Each structure stands twice: as C-alpha cells, then as structure tokens.
Amino acid sequence: NAQVETFEFQAEVRQLLQLVIHSIYSNKDAFLRELVSNASDALDKLRLEAFRDKDLKVDTDDLHIAVDIDAEARTLTVRDNGVGMSREDVVRLIGTIAKSGTAEFLRKMKESQDAAGAQELIGQFGVGFYASFMVADRVTLLTRRAGEDTGTRWESGGEGTYTIEQVDDAPQGTSVTLHLKPADAEEQTADYTSAWKIREIVKRYSDFITWPIRMAKQGGQDGDGGSGTEVETVNSMKALWARPKEETSDAELAEFYKHIAHDWADPLETIRMRAEGTFEYQALLFVPSHAPLDLFMRDGKRGIQLYVKRVFIMDDCESLIPEYLRFVKGVVDAQDLSLNVSRETLQQDRQIQLIRRRLVKKILATVKDLQAKDAEKYAKFWTEFGKAVKEGLVNDPDNREAILEICSFGSTADAEKPTTLREYVERMKDGQQDIYYMTGDSRSVIENSPHLEAFQAKGYEVLVLTDPIDEMWVETVADFDGKPLKSIAKGQVDLDSDSEDDREEKSKDFADLLTWMTGALGDSVKEVRLSSRLTTSPACVVGDTNDLAPNLEKMYRAMGH
Ligand code: ADP
Ligand code: MG
C-alpha cells in the first residue's frame, strides 16, 4: 500500500557514515548520549512551540523520553513525544549535513592517515545521529511532526541509501530503533541489549537531562510494552546550573557540555556564575578545548542558550555574548524574564544587557586566571581562540584593557614562545618608551625586513604580528600600560644615540644626495630622508605615521576601496 521511496545520501554523509561504520571512534557508548540529547532537544522545542502557539494541536501532558530494549530481537529504541519531524525535515536533517565546516572536516580526515589522528578529529567534530551506525547495522526512525497528521518512516543500513515511507498512524514525536550489530566478543564491545548496561550509560551521560528518561523496571516481567510492565525514571533530572558546586562532578559537567555544545571532547574550562536578589540568574559556561570548524565562517553561531526558570527559550542567543567570544558555550537561566521573550525584545532588555556585561567580565577574568595559574591551558586557549579574541580589541572598547591583558603575541625575544604585553613591558630596556611591533604576512617576512635591523642591532624587542586581525586592532589600540604602541615600519623611529650636532652634520653631508634621490624617485615617494634605523641594508621604504599598514592597504584594495 504505502509507497517506499529510496534516496541516496548526500556525498558528505556517505563519507561520514563510512568513517562511523568502520568505527574509528573507540567510545561507542556515545551513540546513546546523542540519541537522548536529540530527544531532549525535541522536547524543549515542543514545549516552546506549544507555549507560543496555543492553537497547535499537540499533547504536552507527559513529555518524556523512553528507552526500550528487546534482547531477543536485538533492538534498542529511544523514543520521545517531542516536536518530531516532517518528511521534508527528515530528508534535510537526516539525509544531509547542514553543519558548516563539514567539507573541511572531511578533507582533514582524508589527510590524517593514522587512526589516532582520525579518532581525535571525529571527537572534535561529533557525528550526532549518525553515531547510531557505530553499533547498529540498520536504523529505523519513525516520526511525526507535532501538529501534522501523517508520519514518516526512515530506514537505512548506512551504506549509501535510505528509504522513506509515509505512515498514517505514527505517534507524535520520534522513535529511533537500532538493530544492533552482532556482539563481537573479540572487540569486547558492550552488550547493548543489557538493561543494566544501558541504564549505566544513561546515568553516566544523561543524568542532568531535564526530561524523564524511562526504562522498564529492572527485575520486572519481560513485558513487550504490555500494560503489566512497570517503568521507572532513571535520571535525576536536576538542572546542573542550578545545583550547588559541591553537588556536581567534573565528569557530569563534561557530559552536560557535550550535550549543549554538540561536541565530543571535554571542555577546557568551566565557569559558573550566580546572582541572587532582585535580579536572579545562573550561568554555566564552558570554554571548549578546540575551536569549532566554523569559527571564522559567516554563519557561525554563538554558543549561549537562554533558559527562563528552567525552561529552554533559545539557542545561539546573540544578545548574551559578543561576537568575539562566540566560541564560549553554555546556559544562562534568568528568573525574571518573560517566557515570551523574542530575539528582538532581548536586545533592548536591560537585564540581558547587564548579564552580558557580567559574562564578558567573568570570561576575561577566567582567562586571566588561567594565564597566572595554568600556563599550558592558557597557551592552548590562545592557540585555539586568540584570533577571535583579538577582534574584541576593535569591537569592545569598554573591555579593551582587560582583553589586552589576556592577549599573546609573537615576538623577536623568543621565536617559539608568544609573549604577553605585560611580559614585554617587564623586559623593556632602560629608557625605552614604546612598545615596538611590526605587522606582516608571516614571521619570516618580518624577520627579513630591513625595518627590523636597527632594532635587532640595538637589542630592542619587537612584536611580530602576523594575523590579518592584527592590522585592524593596532589602528585602534594606542597604548598599553601607558606605553605607546609603535609600528617600526612607520614614520620616524628614533633609535640613534648620535648627538644633535652629529646628525645635523650628517644631514649637511648628504643633502645633495637626498635632493637628487627625491628628484629621481619622483612621485613614487613622499620624501627621502636620512635614517639611523638601518645597519646592513642601504635603504628601506617606510610608511608615514598616518598611512595604512601595507597589509591593510592590500586588504582594502582587494575589497574594492
Ligand atoms: P545535532 O543534534 O548536532 O543538530 P544530529 O545529527 O544529532 O545533529 O541531529 C540532526 C538533526 O536532526 C537535529 O538537529 C534535529 O533537527 C533532527 N533530529 C534528530 N533527532 C531528532 C528527534 N528525536 N526529534 C526531532 N528532531 C530530531
Ligand atoms: Mg544531536
């Protein structure tokens, strides 16, 4: 009767599934975390939709997740009565990967030959729903979008195609049934038909999920969904951000992070905040241990979720975090906001603005702390997120000082180790007034530049700035700790210890030459002047103090200015 249609997976999905099926990821238990995480998201979405649209024909009485095991059939089913998916949703969400950076990920994957490298990569990427194919050789998904009448069955062996079929009597929400691969004694894979084992995985990975996760009661009869089966809730459902610090373990926090960030790796750092009184909110924030692949893509998301009194309101809440801290993930739960808030009203909201200011201060202070207490973690942070943080020097003048404090830059002092401005200042030579820097495409370009010679010869340290964003912030940041920042490639940098008399004398000696050169070079230069900055090169081209840096000039030209 109902028509079964066969579709091909998008090429990227096929590649990804190959990786998953051939299981380069050793922690196979993660599949259950992904399914429960998706079910939880679907329940959050339904609650919100039902609240916003009172006419929506949905049942929100008993929102929950259920995990059923059929040991004989060797199937495991994760079910929710959440928002569900339409047929188009299924094709789009399950058949293709919308995640930006996928192509980049697959390219890296191809390059990385060794299994350990590949495993680490997949741990950074996370494969979400497709993780099912680590343990199953066939997956069936039955779903009905809340408010729609007909449902959809999706099925695949993960090899290249999937089928889609219309189902008239599907319950609201989604159920995902895994047909488990034969247990492999050699590989010592866990037996996912064991209720004890599944319960343990749910507790370990998903205890904080705020919806009940139900399983058949242990020791109860082996009912097959019959009315005699007793069920119990296996998770504690306590919102982690609302619990006192002593009552949450690092492992729990890490799992919570993975759920909200859709990441497979542990976070680098956890930040908690709590304000009581007239203006109550709690925040639980995480700094990831690696930059997402879309950190510099235009549609990159920000990572803060907004809750109001434990109710999920929105992902990607841009009003709560500035763009340069877009990599920070976490949850803000505000007590006094209306559940009706929208993105537009949030932008105007004074409470939200205040929370945002506090989050920024706290995040910057946390990184500062890392710098002092855990140099290795700080270095990791900077490698992953430094380029984004430096955008804040341009875009967040209010916090410029605090941002400068946590920045690191390449320097001529040590080619291997970046320096903070504070450290630079401590090394400044007697009588040195300025912080010297040079921008350029790469370290070697800067090191081979004639501009650097005199500074090198005289033993002055010069910051080596090679990120494109460096050209931007040096235009807006005038000084650090009262010491002006000076480009060594611009204007007159006076390093000479020659006396005034000497200099005047030399000018006289060379006056004819300079006049001749100015004429010979004509319109190509503004001025030819005697310099004390060179030691081995005979001449160099410098910009005027107010000129654009050469790289910035190139950038503007490329943009058509
Ligand atoms: P992610 O959760 O990171 O978006 P997944 O691969 O886990 O990636 O899921 C892909 C998408 O499929 C989800 O974003 C969601 O839109 C949809 N989806 C998956 N599981 C469910 C579910 N149980 N109910 C509704 N939608 C789901
Ligand atoms: Mg998911």
User: If you measure from the C-alpha of residue 342 to the centroid of ligand 1, how many angstroms do you get, rounded to a whole number?
Assistant: 23
Extract the tokens encoding 433. Answer: 């007034």
User: If you measure from the C-alpha of residue 35 to the centroid of ligand 2, how many angstroms do you get, rounded to a whole number?
Assistant: 7
The residue written with tokens 């503004």 in the block is: 526
Phi, then psi, of 133 in degrees rounded to 5:
-75, 0
Extract the tokens encoding 106. Answer: 């697959």
- Confidence at residue 152, expressed as pLDDT on a 0 to 100 scale: 98
Minimum CA distance residue for ligand 1 atom 14: 93
Q: What is the DSSP string of 214-252?
A: EEEPTTS---SS-TT--EEE-S----GGGS-GGG--HHH
Contact criterion met (CB below 8 Å) for 401 and 364: no
Question: Nearest bound ligand to CA 45?
Answer: 1
User: If you measure from the C-alpha of residue 6 to the centroid of ligand 2, how many angstroms do you get, rounded to a whole number?
Assistant: 24
User: If you measure from the C-alpha of residue 97 to the centroid of ligand 2, how many angstroms do you get, rounded to a whole number?
Assistant: 12
pLDDT by residue (tens digit) across 426-475?
999 998 999 999 999 999 999 998 889 888 888 999 999 999 999 999 99
Q: State the sign of the Cα–Cα–Cα–Cα dihedral 224, 225, 228, 233.
A: positive
pLDDT band at 63 (very low <50, low <70, confident <90, very high): very high
3-state secondary structure of 178: strand
pLDDT band at 520 (very low <50, low <70, confident <90, very high): confident
Q: What DSSP character marks residue 160? A: S
CA-to-CA dists, residue 372 to 126, 367, 377, 422, angstroms: 32, 9, 10, 12
Minimum CA distance residue for ligand 1 atom 20: 38
pLDDT band at 89 (very low <50, low <70, confident <90, very high): very high
Ligand 1 pocket mutation, candidates 38, 67, 134, criterion most atoms within 8 A of CB:
38
Minimum CA distance residue for ligand 1 atom 19: 38
List the alpha helices (DSSP H) in 144-233: 195-206
Average pLDDT over residues 267-275: 96
CA distance 38 to 143: 13
The residue written with tokens 């408010």 in the block is: 147
Q: Is the pLDDT of residue 14 over 70?
A: yes
Nearest to 485 by CA among 536, 441, 549: 549
Extract the tokens encoding 143. Answer: 């779903």
Single-letter residue type at 501: D
User: If you measure from the C-alpha of residue 418 to the centroid of ligand 2, how many angstroms do you get, rounded to a whole number?
Assistant: 37
User: If you measure from the C-alpha of residue 262 to the centroid of ligand 2, how many angstroms do you get, rounded to a whole number?
Assistant: 6
Residues linked to residue 155 through DSSP beta bridges, in sequence order: 140, 163
CA distance 313 to 284: 16
| Model ipTM over 0.90 | yes
Q: Which helix (H) or strand (E) holds 115?
A: helix 115-125
CA-to-CA dists, residue 12 to 18, 117, 279, angstroms: 10, 20, 47
Ligand 1 pocket mutation, candidates 41, 177, 258, criterion most atoms within 8 A of CB:
41
Question: Nearest bound ligand to CA 95?
Answer: 1
Single-letter residue type at 155: E
- Confidence at residue 432, expressed as pLDDT on a 0 to 100 scale: 92
User: If you measure from the C-alpha of residue 140 to the centroid of ligand 1, how many angstroms do you get, rounded to a whole number?
Assistant: 14
User: If you measure from the C-alpha of residue 159 to the centroid of ligand 2, how many angstroms do you get, rounded to a whole number?
Assistant: 20
From the alpha carbon of 262, which atom of ligand 1 is closest? 3
Contact criterion met (CB below 8 Å) for 152 and 165: yes
Contact criterion met (CB below 8 Å) for 356 and 284: no
- Confidence at residue 402, expressed as pLDDT on a 0 to 100 scale: 97
- Region of 454 (left: φ > 0; alpha: ψ -120 to 50; beta: rest) is alpha
Extract the tokens encoding 261. Answer: 């960030």
Number of H helices, E strands in the chain: 19, 19
CA distance 140 to 143: 10
Nearest to 138 by CA among 92, 77, 224: 77
Contact criterion met (CB below 8 Å) for 84 and 174: yes
The residue written with tokens 């590649």 in the block is: 15
First to last CA, the chain: 63
Residues linked to residue 305 through DSSP beta bridges, in sequence order: 331
Q: Which helix (H) or strand (E) holds 329?
A: strand 329-334
Ligand 1 pocket mutation, candidates 129, 134, 154, criterion most atoms within 8 A of CB:
129
- Confidence at residue 547, expressed as pLDDT on a 0 to 100 scale: 64
The per-residue b/e assignment along 145-155, b for 16 or more CB within 10 angstroms, e otherwise, is bbbbeebbbbb
3-state secondary structure of 264: coil
CA-to-CA dists, residue 436 to 83, 174, 432, 490, 530, angstroms: 58, 61, 10, 11, 21
User: If you measure from the C-alpha of residue 330 to the centroid of ligand 1, how many angstroms do you get, rounded to a whole number?
Assistant: 19
Q: Is the pLDDT of residue 134 over 60?
A: yes
Question: How does the average pLDDT of the chain come out, rounded?
Answer: 88
535 C-beta neighbours (distance < 10 Å), count: 13
From the alpha carbon of 45, which atom of ligand 1 is closest? 25
Residues linked to residue 438 through DSSP beta bridges, in sequence order: 464
User: If you measure from the C-alpha of residue 260 to the centroid of ligand 2, how many angstroms do you get, rounded to a whole number?
Assistant: 9
Minimum CA distance residue for ligand 1 atom 23: 39
Minimum CA distance residue for ligand 1 atom 10: 93
Residues with CB under 6 A from ligand 1: 34, 38-39, 42, 80, 82-85, 93-94, 128-129, 174, 262
Minimum CA distance residue for ligand 1 atom 11: 93
User: If you measure from the C-alpha of residue 548 to the centroid of ligand 1, how many angstroms do you get, rounded to a whole number?
Assistant: 47
Q: Calculate the CA dihedral of residues 387, 389, 393, 396 and round it to 10 degrees.
A: 140
Extract the tokens encoding 234. Answer: 């296996």
User: If you measure from the C-alpha of residue 552 to the centroid of ligand 2, how many angstroms do you get, rounded to a whole number?
Assistant: 41
- Confidence at residue 561, expressed as pLDDT on a 0 to 100 scale: 47
Ligand 1 pocket mutation, candidates 78, 89, 93, 154, criterion most atoms within 8 A of CB:
93
From the alpha carbon of 94, which atom of ligand 1 is closest? 12
From the alpha carbon of 39, which atom of ligand 1 is closest? 23
pLDDT by residue (tens digit) across 317-368?
999 999 999 999 999 999 988 888 888 889 889 999 999 999 999 999 999 9
pTM, two decimals, is 0.82
Minimum CA distance residue for ligand 1 atom 27: 38
Q: Is the pLDDT of residue 94 over 80?
A: yes
From the alpha carbon of 130, which atom of ligand 1 is closest? 6
Q: Is the pLDDT of residue 123 over 80?
A: no
User: If you measure from the C-alpha of residue 238 to the centroid of ligand 1, how many angstroms do you get, rounded to a whole number?
Assistant: 23
pLDDT by residue (tens digit) across 172-218?
999 999 999 987 655 555 689 999 999 999 999 999 999 999 999 87
Minimum CA distance residue for ligand 1 atom 12: 93
CA distance 329 to 318: 12
Minimum CA distance residue for ligand 1 atom 18: 38
Extract the tokens encoding 4. Answer: 């079964």
Minimum CA distance residue for ligand 1 atom 7: 128
pLDDT by residue (tens digit) across 291-317?
988 888 877 778 999 999 888 999 999
Contact criterion met (CB below 8 Å) for 240 and 256: yes
Single-letter residue type at 48: L
Contact criterion met (CB below 8 Å) for 172 and 144: yes
Q: Is the pLDDT of residue 24 over 70?
A: no
Q: Is the pLDDT of residue 538 over 80?
A: no
